[in-house]
Copies of this chain bind each other. A is one copy, B any other.
Amino acid sequence: MSHGGNIYQFARRLGCLPEQVLDFSANINPVQAVDLTCLLKVQLTPYADPDYSLLKQAINQRYPTPEGIDIELFNGASAAIFALLRGLQPKDVVLYAPLYGEYAHIAGKLGCQVHSINRFNHLKADIPERSTVIFVNPSTPDGQLYDMQDLLARWQAADCTTIIDESFLDFCETDSVAGHIKHYNKLYVIKSLSKFYGCAGIRIGFVLAETAAIKELQRLEPAWKLSSLDMAYMRQALANTAFIEQTRQQTAHLRDLLHHALQDSGLFDKIYPGQANFLLARLANGEASAPAHAPRLRPVGDGYQLQTLLEPSRILIRVCDNFEGLDKSHVRFAVKDEQAIARLSRSLKEIRL
């Protein structure tokens, strides 16, 4: 199951409804900033404003950018990646892996030469001059938050076009690199709004870049692409400023709970120190010894076996073997609410090996 699992297939196999699945596989905030009643006044008949002025205003209020930096909206970050790479037509694409599989997938389809750098071991590896670099910060599936200053300087020195995906940055206190665009005109920022705002069903994402670069990107875009319902929802979600700090605090607290649940299960010999709304963990293989304070390790085989063992509890998890540099001992868990984490914790402990 790529793309953070497919609860629909999973539910069909278990003979239950998708909403009965406890989905730890998709890293989406389980809390929303507004409820659906905000949609009842939307005017569906007319075409939306083709400039998306009100939505852009709301985005600009939430993510202010200096003069000379512009925005292009897309029906989701996945559409934005496609449009951006199609527009840039890079010969060489450098991916800092592991990362969201869609990047390699799209670069491959577009016929780019894909170079992969393992950011765990070779963060400072040399890169081809004038290549197109793609970096996700905080990263997925491990949630590491990187200090971008040095990296940006190195990519700029190599005259690279640089794409930074900040879809999970809202979970951290850190500033966007968008401010650098005015000194580095080959820098692009991609952002999905669905992760932080808890709405994968809403298809809105955007690209920030220098005004001329955005103009070029718009050249091959259709006249209308965003749903009026999605726009109305997102405008109101973005306006809920209290939600930002609440979500950060709540996520940090729940991530701690999840960390304990994973550690206490004795199934994992490593839990990555993630800063976003998910945690990557590695299943113990029975060889490594557990840290002194941890319970005895219980090797469970691989992530697929764990997935099967959790099926009776209707819990879906994400095995990370299709992330380059990881294997099927790596499993990702989204940060969910207390009740869900308690259920996961119980199910992990009840696994009889």
**Which residues from chain A sit less than 8 Å from chain B, CB to CB?**
3-4, 6-8, 18-19, 23, 26, 28-30, 32, 36-37, 39-40, 42-51, 53, 75-76, 78-79, 81-82, 86, 102, 106, 109-110, 198-203, 219-230, 233
List chain B residues, Cβ under 8 A from A225.
Answer: 75-76, 78-79, 203
- For A224, what are the chain B residues with a Cβ–Cβ distance below 8 Å? 76, 78, 200, 203
Task: Specify how many copies of this chain sit in the oligomer.
Answer: 2
Q: Which residues from B are CB-within-8-Å of A3?
A: 47, 50, 223
Tell which of B47, B49, B202, B226 touches A44, judged by Cβ atoms closer than 8 Å: B202
Residues of B within 8 A of A219 (CB): 109
Bound form: Cα–Cα A75–B229 in Å: 13
Instruction: Report Cα–Cα, A110/B42, bound state, in Å.
Output: 35
Please state if A47 and B32 are interface contacts (CB–CB under 8 Å). Answer: no
- Interface on chain A toward B: helix, strand, loop, or mixed SS? loop
> CB within 8 A of A227: which of B48, B198, B230?
B230
A50 x B229 contact (CB < 8 A): no
Q: Which residue of B lies closest to A29 (CB)?
A: B45
A54 nearest in chain B by CB position:
B8
Given A109-B219, A227-B229, A43 and B201 touching (CB < 8 A)? yes
Taking a contact as CB atoms under 8 Å apart, the answer to whether B199 and A45 are in contact is yes
Whether B202 lies near A229 (C-beta < 8 A) is: yes
Interface centre among A29, A32, A39 (most CB of B within 10 A): A39
Within the complex, the shortest CB–CB distance from A150 to chain B, in Å, comes to: 32
CA distance A36 to B39 in the complex (A): 7
Bound Cα distance from A37 to B201, whole angstroms: 17
Contact A46 B75 (CB under 8 A): no
In the complex, A42 Cα to B230 Cα: how many Å? 12
A337 to chain B, nearest CB (A): 11
**12 sampled A-B residue pairs with Cβ under 8 A:** A28-B45, A36-B39, A46-B201, A75-B227, A78-B223, A82-B221, A106-B222, A109-B219, A200-B224, A202-B229, A203-B225, A230-B230
Tell whether, in the assembled complex, residue B229 and residue A201 are in contact, meaning their CB atoms are under 8 Å apart.
yes
A314 to chain B, nearest CB (A): 14
- In the complex, A115 Cα to B226 Cα: how many Å? 31
Q: Is the CB of A226 within 8 A of B203?
A: yes
Which residue on B lies nearest to A101, using beta carbons? B223
